[in-house]
Amino acid sequence: MFISSFEIFKPSIGPSSSHTMGPMIAAARFLARLREAAGQGGNPPARLTVTLHGSLAFTGKGHGTDRAVALGLLGFAPETLDPDEAEAALARLRETQTLTPPGLPALHFAPESDIVFDYGPPLPQHPNGLVFQALCADGTPGFALTCFSPGGGFVQTLAEITAAASGAPPETPGPAYPYPFGTAAEMLAMGKASGNSIAAMMRANEQAHGITDLDDGLDRIAAAMTACIERGLAQEGILPGGLHVRRRAKSMYETLQRQRQTNRQPPHAVNDWISVYALAVNEENAAGGRVVTAPTNGAAGTIPAVLRYWQTQCDDVTDAKRRDFLLTAAAIGGLIKQNSSISGAEVGCQGEVGSAAAMAAAGLCAALGGTNAQIENAAEIALEHHLGLTCDPAGGLVQVPCIERNALGAIKAVSAASLALLEDGSHFMPLDNCIRVMLQTGRDMNQKYKETSTGGIAVNLPEC
């Protein structure tokens, strides 16, 4: 299955693609299905309830999952949401406890009571599950839909995830792709046979996918990443959520600028610049600002930081190479998502920041002129040294340790690309094997270290 760049990189709002973006999209999908069911007759729906399961329940309050579900039912979409308009709509909903979706009767919905956090065992199909239920006026159950939010803003229904697990072919087969690689080994073989770079093969696949404005789309992604960095570097204050975490990117950026003006910056200051770019993005994400999933919101800062590093510190920077960076990164992200997971609730933070670091390393290696073999090696190095990384956010918030992890992931990505470029691309551990190890490690990982905030850093906080 080919995964497009625009499935990996999507404009979104913070703080979590699996806990906010996905549930918001799932709510919209439920309303669409409910309209279809209502059009077929029977008792009309009168009330809605939503039950959050697994990680969506355990960290849903900190991530704002209940808010995201309500916004989705109110008709908002992540890529176009206006924060001020959204807050006004939520206030009206709390007051009226009524939804008025197009094509449906007025529906009773009180977010405080009709969004239920189920702290029992997660649904067996995936840790991020939510069940939408329509009730008739007499209280009898009507149409219901079970959805899963596996990360990166992707949403699957129970029927879809069951069909995928059974290996059943899709109901509507997709287009034929010129380079239908499903593994890194296939990607390298197709590149060798065709003489094409990974970016060129991705470009051909995107065009076969029906995307005609590919360069404009990639430029919009890059511009959104840049805008997020710039806004993050200009903000200060305390992040929301109750941990009283202070924004640091602005003050650090100003310190680095003063050091640069004295011409006394130490050689390792380049790592500080990379870090501050990542911090700026993830502080914006933690504040609920606009970010780009890369491949998730919790890992949204790593790729923009490495891209900014390349643009400001490296030679021969061109628009074409920037697009190759993103296309190559997306190819690696697609392989990881298809063969393992990008969900912190499923495999821990190795699936989020680890995947982002692998993508960033591959993209940077491509932009610096690396061969396909060197690019695959760079991705493998970066991913290998994130294996076993847990997802244990303090207070269920995408702040501690998530913000700094993006900075360190970006530094690892640059180092991985540099190491790969020093060699000819031959190496011991293939990327496919490393991706498989990540999946196996995630399956073996204790559930309390997979975005439930019941272990690790989340329960070892200072007493104050």
Q: What pLDDT does residue 164 have?
A: 77
* 3-state DSSP assignment of residue 220: helix
The model's pTM is 0.92
Q: What pLDDT does residue 321 have?
A: 98
Q: What is the pLDDT of residues 83-124, one digit of tens each?
A: 789 999 999 999 999 999 999 999 999 999 999 999 999 999
Q: pLDDT over 90 for what percent of the chain? A: 88
Q: What pLDDT does residue 84 have?
A: 82
**Residue 91 and residue 93: Cα distance in Å, rounded?**
5
Average pLDDT in the chain: 95
Backbone torsions φ then ψ of 76, nearest 5 degrees:
-85, 150
Half-sphere exposure of 172 (CA within 13 A, CB side): 0
Mean pLDDT of 167-186: 82
* CB-neighbour burial class of residue 275 (10 A; exposed 0-12, middle 13-18, buried 19+): buried
Non-local (6+) Cβ contacts of 433 within 8 A are none
The residues that bridge with 146 in the sheet, in sequence order, are 131
- Beta strands 107-108 and 98-99 are antiparallel
Mean pLDDT of 40-55: 94
Q: What pLDDT does residue 165 have?
A: 76
Mean pLDDT of 155-170: 82
The residues that bridge with 157 in the sheet, in sequence order, are 147
Q: Tokens in use for 74?
A: 């109110």
Q: What pLDDT does residue 42 have?
A: 82
Instruction: Catalogue the E-assigned strands of 95-245.
Output: 98-99, 107-108, 115-117, 128-136, 141-151, 154-157
Of 370, 374, 388, 375, nearest in space to 331 by CA? 375
Cis? peptide before 105, omega within 30° of 0 = no
State the pLDDT confidence band at 454, using cuts at 50, 70 and 90: very high
Instruction: Please give the radius of gyration of the chain, using alpha carbons only, rounded to the nearest integer.
Output: 22
Cα angle, residue 219 at apex, residues 213 and 220 outer, rounded to 5°:
90
Q: Are 378 and 412 in contact (CB under 8 A)?
A: no
Say yes or no to pLDDT of 431 above 80: yes
Say yes or no to pLDDT of 399 above 60: yes
Say yes or no to pLDDT of 343 above 70: yes
The DSSP line for 347-399 is H-GGGTHHHHHHHHHHHHHHHTT--HHHHHHHHHHHHHTTTT--B--GGG-S-
Q: What is the pLDDT of residues 5-33, one digit of tens each?
A: 999 999 988 899 999 999 999 999 999 99
**Residue 68 and residue 64: Cα distance in Å, rounded?**
6
Q: Are 426 and 417 in contact (CB under 8 A)?
A: no
Mean pLDDT of 312-340: 97
Please report, as a single letter, which amino acid is at residue 84. D
Q: How many CB atoms lie within 10 A of CB 46?
A: 16
Say yes or no to pLDDT of 464 above 70: no
* CB-neighbour burial class of residue 267 (10 A; exposed 0-12, middle 13-18, buried 19+): exposed
174 vs 296 pLDDT, higher one: 296
Q: What is the pLDDT of residues 179-229, one digit of tens each?
A: 999 999 999 999 999 999 999 999 999 999 999 999 999 999 999 999 999
Mean pLDDT of 127-134: 97
Of 68-72, 160-164, 166-170, the least confident: 166-170
Say yes or no to pLDDT of 171 above 60: no
